[in-house]
Amino acid sequence: MARKLLLVFVVPVILIAAAIYLNTDPKSVASRLAKTGFSRTDRLTYRMYLFGFIPACEAIFDSPKEEALNGKAVLHLNATVRPLRSLSRLFNGYAILDSYIDAETGDPVIFRQKTVMQGKVVADKEVRYDQKGNFMTKGDEKRQILPHTQDPLSLVYNLRKMKFAESGKFDMNINTNQKNYIFEATLTHKGIVIAKAPARLALIKSTIRRRDKNRYHRSQVDLVCLKDKENLPILIKVSASGFYLVAKLVNTN
């Protein structure tokens, strides 16, 4: 009886530990991608796990599209977050994010976010940025922003294009709502071997917090990027107020 009880408790713990390892170990994630042949990066699909082991959602980042906005060249970034098919009967909803960024500076011009639940739009917002005047408008509200303020999609885009030094610190400004936030990051590098070939990882450990240093509005975001022609985020870990989410790259086309 004691042995059966031990198995009941020990086996699930072992399975959870194994799942967390496979979902959070950069080399495991990169090696699995290598088996699928990830030469293209037009569309990035991430599998999202609550607490590192509970499969919940997927996030799809489409490749940037060149467009014209008010006579100016912009890049249209798009991402969709939705529950996994196995959970769609329990949770019927999705979120769509769109960012239009200046093709020269990489700074956002317009950011849109729509959330749909049970076929109804429950949240729909649009933020317009005046990067030269250092202000943004959301509906009838006008708020001051800092130079080169980013939205979530433009921030990820610029991280992918950034030429990282070997190590060091950097920061970026963020605002899509009311208060100005800072993305404060420390960068290191690590060498690994994938499919018998050497590869380089950029490890970014960051804190997102309000500029006014309010200690209740902060989160920890760690990114692991595979360095090639650009920085390809293969693993993202987010911790905030006891909430832990892992997003790993599972497909690149």
pLDDT tens-digit series, residues 112-154: 999 998 888 888 999 999 999 999 999 889 999 999 999 999 9
Close Cβ partners of 60 (under 8 Å, ≥ 6 residues apart) = 43, 44, 45, 46, 79, 80
Q: 185-220 pLDDT, tens per residue?
A: 999 999 999 888 898 999 999 999 998 877 778 899
Model pTM score: 0.90
- 77 contacts 109 by C-beta, under 8 angstroms: no
pLDDT band at residue 11 under the 50/70/90 scheme: low
Listed range (37-51, 55-69, 88-102, 172-186) with the worst mean pLDDT:
37-51
| 180/176 Cα distance (integer angstroms) | 8
Other residues' Cβ atoms within 10 Å of the Cβ of residue 181: 22
Assigned token pair, 101: 């960024």
Assigned token pair, 224: 């692991």
| 206/187 Cα distance (integer angstroms) | 9
